[in-house]
Amino acid sequence: MNGWTLAATVGLAGGLGTALWGVATGPLRRRVVAQNLSTALACPGLLLLSQAYGRPSYVDLGLVLALLGPVGTLVFARLLADELAEDPPRAWGPTWAVAGLGAATVIALCVATGPSRAMVKLLVIGALLIGGNVIASRALSGGFRGVRRG
Amino acid sequence: MADAVIVVALLLVAASATVAVVTRDPVRQALVLAVLGVVLAVLFTVLQAPDVGLSQLAVGSALTPLLLMLTVRKVRRRGQEKGRGR
């Protein structure tokens, strides 16, 4: 068991466990935030696993998750707009904390890969992950007025 | 020792599936199902089946919640129209 596997195990257990707890209990606004953060936490875990197994092609899973995770959250933001407008979620602290965790993971993996095409791919995934996460979080808190006409 | 990550993924799948069954409200159930889809994709990756994980991600994280939420919305609208008709 190398350090990458350990980091992936701890990150997935802690991150997804917390997200699962958040999505299982509490009011609706907490549940949608937890659902958003679960995708943002699973993506760095998948990237770490790809490094742990020494298989660069596994990075595609992280890429797909970074693309589709925010899409899933936007589905909820659009179709739950009425419920969320009464009680909008405000979770910028956790959002930026998770974004920082993702950035730290991507930077560590970039250092391990060295300058190459794989590093560019990792940087693209990191940018997609953080950008999509912030946009989805903003849509959930009612930042885009047009989304509210659900 | 490398099996620890498999055990973690299996426990997460078991926990999220149980929560999805226990939750009664369909809207909240859709949220739990989205998390379950992501956790299942992690389990498939850990078990060295990334191709299955890719399709699970595509279906589980965006498509299943979308279909569920659209259905819930349609059923609720029909219920409201029926209430008005009376």
Cα(B18)–Cα(A83) distance, rounded to whole angstroms?
A: 25
- Which of B47, B86, B48 is closest to A57 using CA atoms? B48
With CB atoms and an 8 Å threshold, state whether A24 touches B19: yes
pLDDT over 70 (residue B86): no
Give me the interface pTM, i.e. the ipTM: 0.88
Give the nearest chain A residue to B52 (CA atoms): A61
A6-30 confidence digits (pLDDT tens): 999 999 999 999 999 999 988 888 8
Q: Which domain holds residue B47?
A: 4-85
pLDDT at A87: 79
Q: Are A80 and A142 in contact (CB under 8 A)?
A: no
Q: Are B32 and A23 in contact (CB under 8 A)?
A: yes
Can you list the positions of beta strands (E) in A84-140? none
A50 vs chain B: nearest CA distance in angstroms? Answer: 9
Domain coordinates in residue numbering, chain A:
9-148
pLDDT at A145: 60
How far from A66 is each of A45, A84, A129, B70, CA to CA, in Å? Answer: 12, 24, 5, 23
pLDDT at A65: 93
pLDDT at A1: 61
With CB atoms and an 8 Å threshold, state whether A35 touches B39: no
B6-63 confidence digits (pLDDT tens): 999 999 999 999 999 999 888 899 999 999 999 999 999 999 999 999 999 989 888 9
Asked if the C-beta of A8 comes within 8 angstroms of chain B's C-beta atoms, the answer is: yes
pLDDT at A131: 93
pLDDT at B83: 79
pLDDT at A146: 57
Series of mean pLDDT values for 10-residue runs along chain A (150 residues): 87 92 89 91 93 90 92 89 81 88 91 88 92 90 61
Q: Which two structure tokens, joined as six digits, stand for A34?
A: 């937890």
Q: Which two structure tokens, joined as six digits, stand for A99?
A: 């974004």
How many independent structural domains does chain B possess?
1
pLDDT at A122: 92
| Residue linked to tokens 């903003």 | A138
